[in-house]
Amino acid sequence: MRSNQTYFAPQKMLAENQRHHVDWLFISNEEVNVDSPDSSSTNISTSSEVIDEEVDSQETSSDKLDLTSLMEVMQFNEIYPGNYPSLSAAVALGDLNAVRKLAKVRSRLDAHDNRGRIPLHEAAFHNRPECVDLLLKRKQNVVNARTFEGETPLFLACKAGSCLCLVKSLIENGADVNLANNEEVTPLHVCKDYELAFCLIQAGANVNAQDFNNSTKLHLLLETEGNNSSNSLIDLLLSSGANPSLEDECGRTCLFVAAQFGNIHALKKIIEFCPNIDVNQRANDGATALMLAAQGGHLMTIRILLEIGADPSLVDHDGLNTMYMAILKNNIAVLMLLIKLTGGEAVFLNDVTWQQWSYMKFAIKSDAFESVKVLAKICQRHAIYPRFRLGPDPVPRVSSITSSTLFDFYNKPFESAVSYIFCAIGEEDILKYLDCLLECGFPVNNQDEQCTSPIASLFNAGYRREIVLACLDKLISKGIDLNSSESNGFIPDALLLALLRYNTD
């Protein structure tokens, strides 16, 4: 019996969420004698060549191939037209008549393409339930066949969001719901549909399975923007025994991830299902869920975490607490909320942390200008202007222009905010930082003898002459003392520094 039907495959086929080139592949059933078991040849033609599907290199079973050498040269997310079995092409196109005829040759049922996909993989991925039933009827033992990346037909069906009846058919025919790919990703991990996920769980899918990153399905859901679909899946997983305390490779529990992405629904559900969960548990870097929420700017999340006992004073391995995280990201609303909920501005300014490692210094060093503006205004309201401890690299010693006369500004233990900005900020931004501090009343003269002079910091900053002059103008307008002489008692330090650095009038 021969058929006269000829059909065409589109030039682009959508597979694995990418478009794969098939070069106007066409298959002519006229050339297939389905009555003869020896006539298993289907011609697949491109615009420039005709490919014989029954060439031994394409139709032999995978156990006869040198898979190691194949995997070195093949791309597993791209179809090679010359290596695409005729039955797979018919399945992908949804031509059930051609599938019936081609599937009568059993060798075609496990013929794979360059990705290791057999026709059943294509039927599952392209949502062809009739083709799945037909292929499984012909050869059921391929139901758990794996591609070169370890993906089963069930995995591909869940990944593509194929229909429920197709997934049920695979499971009823023995599909393993927990068989993961080469990266330990299970069908449940890639499933985005509630009904499919429910079907997998009913069939015994492990809701706490962890992939190569140690992420569970719940972890992955929480990393996406919350919507009704994902919220329903979150509820399903938690009610089915998902453990939100499991950690991923970074040491983050599901509470961490919910806080990091501001998923309020998930956060409340996790607290509901695990009322005794440790809200102050640390990730591998010492961070807490509250720190991640502050970084992300999630106000409601922060309120909820504080209500259940989150401690904002805890520090990570770098010595930074939640307040620092908000400052670093210029999350002003979060910063003000934390200040309000932890005692107010007065307590904030007199906090021991403020004295040892100033929030203002951190904001300046991190170039968090919006945070600097807010902190400067708080200082102005309370007339408290912090001085900073010098770090391991204090203002360098300065020598005079003659080798016989030496002077230095001793390595003093403190410096004012105005002095510090010349050490920490580049010349492209220094004027806006200086304007901000001067407008908020920060002193330009030494607060005491233990503070480094702003003049010394300015002349050691390495700015261009015009930038230094602009800064000097602003400092002079605020009354900086240019006649101070710590070095020799009779020549002003500012004059000596100008001569040293610029050797000019």
3-class DSSP state for residue 44?
Answer: strand
Region of residue 441 (phi > 0: left; psi between -120 and 50: alpha; otherwise: beta): left
DSSP states of 358-420: -HHHHHHHTT-HHHHHHHHHHHHHHT---EEE--SS-PPP---SSSS--------SEEEHHHH
Architecture of domain 1-173: Alpha Horseshoe (1.25)
C-alpha radius of gyration, the chain, whole number: 35
Minimal CA–CA distance to 205: which of 181, 176, 232? 176
Pairing of strands 414-416, 50-52: unpaired
CA–CA dist 98, 131 (Å, integer): 10
What digits encode the pLDDT tens for the residues 206-264? Answer: 999 999 999 999 999 998 765 667 899 999 999 999 999 999 999 999 999 999 999 99
Task: With cut-offs at 50, 70 and 90, classify the pLDDT of residue 503.
Answer: low
pLDDT at 444 over 80: yes
Contact 382, 349 (CB under 8 A): yes
CATH 1.25.40 assigned to 414-502: yes
Buried-exposed string 368-381: b where 16+ CB fall within 10 A, e elsewhere: bbebbbbbbebbee
CATH T-level assignment (fold) for domain 291-384:
1.25.40
**In Å, how far are 391, 408, 451 from 446, measured between CA atoms?**
18, 16, 6
Q: Which of 50-54, 160-164, 429-433, 483-487 has the lowest mean pLDDT?
A: 50-54
Contact 69, 102 (CB under 8 A): no
Q: Which of 68-77, 101-110, 399-408, 427-436 has the lowest mean pLDDT?
A: 399-408
Query: Where exactly does CATH 1.25.40.20 map onto the chain?
Result: 1-173, 176-277, 291-384
pLDDT at 495 over 90: no
What digits encode the pLDDT tens for the residues 116-140? Answer: 999 999 999 999 999 999 999 999 9
Its sign, for the CA torsion 201, 207, 209, 211, is: positive
What digits encode the pLDDT tens for the residues 455-491? Answer: 888 888 889 989 999 999 999 999 887 776 665 555 5
Contact 45, 25 (CB under 8 A): yes
CA–CA dist 289, 343 (Å, integer): 21
Task: With cut-offs at 50, 70 and 90, classify the pLDDT of residue 356.
Answer: very low
pLDDT at 410 over 60: no
- The mean pLDDT value of the chain amounts to 79
Identity of the amino acid at 475: L
Q: Which residue has the tokens 């599937």?
A: 103
3-class DSSP state for residue 326?
Answer: helix
Identity of the amino acid at 358: S
3-class DSSP state for residue 473?
Answer: helix
pLDDT at 395 over 50: no
CA–CA dist 327, 345 (Å, integer): 15
Minimal CA–CA distance to 125: which of 231, 7, 11, 20? 20
Its sign, for the CA torsion 439, 445, 450, 452, is: positive
CATH of domain 176-277: 1.25.40.20
Its sign, for the CA torsion 170, 176, 181, 182, is: negative
Q: Which of 85-89, 244-248, 501-505 has the lowest mean pLDDT?
A: 501-505
pLDDT at 11 over 50: no
Identity of the amino acid at 480: I
CA–CA dist 245, 255 (Å, integer): 8
More confident residue, 446 or 20: 446
Token pair, residue 47, equals 């615009």
Task: With cut-offs at 50, 70 and 90, classify the pLDDT of residue 416.
Answer: confident
